[in-house]
Amino acid sequence: MISSTVSSHPRFLNALACQNFNERPPVWIMRQAGRYLPEYQEIRKKYPLEEMFRHPELIFEITKQPLDILGVDAAILFADILHIPLSMGLDVSFPGKGGPVVSPKIESEDDLITLSPKPVEESLGFVKEGIHLLKKEIDVPLIGFCGGPFTVMTYMTGKKVKKWLYSDPESALEMLQMITDQSIRYLQMQVDAGVDAIQVFDSWANLLSNVEFQRFAKPFLKQIVQAVDVPVILFSRATSHFASEFVDLKPSAISFDWAYPLYELRKRVPETIAMQGNLDPEILYAPPHVIQKETEKMLTQMAGDPGYIVNLGHGVLPDIPVDHVRAFVDTVKAFSPQK
């Protein structure tokens, strides 16, 4: 289902539908609303990260920054993949080093009784309010998102998730289902508020073997894809490794890491599924002329593919110069598939 509210900028949505014919591909960047931007850092000096994620006006301002600065073809909501634990009665903090911390940790079946899922409209209503503000102002598609259930569980267990998977797999599956149910409610709230597409970040699925992925990740991602009635993009650090499994889920798009060139991966992905990615984020440390060359090589390899969305193979790194990010975006915007 494609929103009619962004018809003036259809390139991203057309590519998601594999119908972006005779046009350059759209471009946006994972983590584009964030730490590499000096404008973001100015806000960060004034507010703790928890407040930035939970204040609708700040969600609006930070989401909009890369649209004004870079001119990307889609916005992605400024939020955190750990809003789901927050909505289940847990505390989420950002100490600054070592990544976010969820407390108390949920490490076994005995701990499940501490989880108390709350209505998402009540516990995460600030996200809905932020979306409403954005939809009044922006004229590009807005991407909502959540973390993949396995990835969220990884953080909720203090990254001791595999110990639980093997010591008590049935209760681990119970927890994954709880996370999935709450994630679906959260995503449906985002869709109702006006997002035009959803990306699911199951980043930590790279910890899993193929057999483990089949049991502890794939069934829950499938539920999400089937429950959400806007285009869904699936991302993991291991999408190249699990390409066939992600194809089986029939998302609108798969966002790939940089392990293989996209034109090679396209042989494994049907033309009805869009492909997103996949420049190595560390290439953006290179001088702009090198960034331009590497980006043009990727664009040329995928030229003419109506289901191609340009992005990085993971999020933009916090110490990348803005001019280098702009070189990447501008190269895409200057590309002509007719050359």
Catalytic residue, from 24, 31, 54, 266: name it: 31
Catalytic residue, from 11, 24, 36, 80: name it: 80
Distant-in-sequence, close-in-space partners of 298: CB < 8 Å, separation ≥ 6: 261, 262, 278, 279, 310
Catalytic residue, from 11, 40, 54, 155: name it: 155
State the Cα–Cα distance between residues 328 and 334, nearest whole angstrom.
Answer: 10
Catalytic residue, from 44, 263, 280, 285: name it: 44
User: Largest Cα–Cα distance of the chain, in whole Å?
Assistant: 62
Catalytic site includes residue 185: no
CA distances from 37 to 45, 142, 338 (A): 13, 19, 33
Catalytic site includes residue 11: no
Catalytic residue, from 35, 280, 285, 326: name it: 35
Catalytic site includes residue 268: no
Is 144 strand, coil or helix? Answer: strand
Catalytic site includes residue 80: yes
CA distances from 256 to 4, 117, 237, 261 (A): 28, 32, 8, 9
Catalytic site includes residue 139: no
State the Cα–Cα distance between residues 160 and 158, nearest whole angstrom.
Answer: 5
Distant-in-sequence, close-in-space partners of 208: CB < 8 Å, separation ≥ 6: 150, 216, 217, 238
Identify the CA nearest to 203 among candidates 101, 80, 105, 117.
80
State the Cα–Cα distance between residues 179 and 1, nearest whole angstrom.
Answer: 25
Would you name the residues annotated as active-site residues? Answer: 31, 35, 44, 80, 155
